[in-house]
Amino acid sequence: MRKLVLLGGGYGNMRILLRLLPNNLPLDTEIILIDRTPFHSMKTEFYALAAGTSSDQEVRVDFPESDRLTIINAEISRIGLEEKRVYLGNGQEVAYDDLVIGLGCEDKYHGVPGAEEFTHSIQTIGNSRKTYNELLGLPSDAIVGIVGAGLSGIELASELRESRGDLQIKLFDRSPRILRDFPERLSNYVKKWFDNHDVEVVSNANITKVEQNKLYNHEEVIPVDAVVWTAGIQTVKVVRDLNLESDGSGRVVINQYHQLPTDENVYVVGDCAGLPMAPSAQLAEEQAEQIVKILKAMWRSEPLPEKMPEIKLKGFLGSLGQKQGFAYLADRTVTGRIARLMKSGVLWMYKWHNG
Ligand SMILES: Cc1cc2nc3c(=O)[nH]c(=O)nc-3n(C[C@H](O)[C@H](O)[C@H](O)COP(=O)(O)OP(=O)(O)OC[C@H]3O[C@@H](n4cnc5c(N)ncnc54)[C@H](O)[C@@H]3O)c2cc1C
């Protein structure tokens, strides 16, 4: 049997499973999925898990069941590209014919001393649970610092405000205005929400050091009871350890078929893949659609398209608590209740298709 091994059951590989199972897989091919968690974790919702507004069960769905699919629940410790094998933490080795690396990303601390040691994370479901325990266990009036005001920082700050009205929340933004790369209307809307809900946005911030209960913004020392780091990501260590050619942001360089330029049987999907757009679940899924087409053509020994179509993304949707939201779709901004309903709708559809 030919083995297609999927590393990581995230957004990219879930889409590959959805498209290949049950009827699009050649009879001589089986799929093996390896993930450290026994279910698909919906990373886009980890902010709500950490803030205590979504339960653990609400941010995960089961992997599909099929007699063409074997699921291995284990930690991947090394990928052996030479020997076409994947090495697991439990000592097991898994051989592959085709491999899709979809292991996502982890926090990047930019060399800030103490950041890794003294901040909490929402990059994995395990870390989000720990962050939840920390944040929800804080006494009244405790100060929470959130470092990084990108989408995940904004969503976490607003959700935590609704979950814990009694905490002091400080959101540290590197830019002079929040969501600097998007129209000012969006920035103003989000800033106003924070002002109205007593979340302090610290603009032009530069966190230079973190210590136990202390954040250093430039030279200023800010007392904190807990800090969550949402200020940068990098591909996971297992992928960094491959020492493959990477783009400016550390993502693996791939060809137009999403394969390693040096190995047509190894594909990279999602946050690990070097694409010209910012990493997102949406991008991972669109890329997965193309990978499925390539895999099918390769299995049938058909020629590959001379030029792959450009991946087009719809934009993004963000939440400000349970009732308000903001979106940037087809170069238009949408704010308020409608944007929030759209986000909830997308999540509902996702669970419906994948649950
Ligand atoms: C708070 C937050 C909000 C976000 N909101 C949005 C949004 O609104 N829209 C959007 O498009 N994107 C959003 N993103 C980004 C999005 O979640 C990622 O781009 C997306 O998850 C990437 O998908 P992926 O397939 O690359 O991997 P992931 O979905 O990250 O999945 C990787 C999988 O690999 C597994 N894994 C990793 N390492 C190992 C290992 N060593 N051994 C075994 N298993 C391993 C993990 O358990 C996981 O299941 C958000 C991210 C965060 C953190």
Provide the 10 A C-beta neighbour count for residue 148.
22
Rounded distance from Cα 9 to ligand 1 centre (Å): 9
pTM, entire model:
0.96
What digits encode the pLDDT tens for the residues 154-212? Answer: 999 999 999 999 999 999 999 999 999 999 999 999 999 999 999 999 999 999 999 99
Measured from the Cβ of residue 73, the count of other Cβ atoms closer than 10 Å reads 15
Distance 104 CA to ligand 1 centre (A): 5
Distance 277 CA to ligand 1 centre (A): 16
pLDDT at 238: 97
Helical packing angle, 337-354 and 11-20, nearest 10°: 50
Ligand 1, pocket-test mutation among 5, 7, 11, 312, most atoms within 8 A of CB: 11
For the stretch 67-78, pLDDT in tens is: 999 999 999 999
Q: Which of 280, 289, 326 to mutate to test ligand 1, by most ligand atoms within 8 A of the CB atom?
A: 280
Question: Average pLDDT of the chain?
Answer: 96
Query: Distance, CA 105 to ligand 1 centroid (Å)?
Result: 7
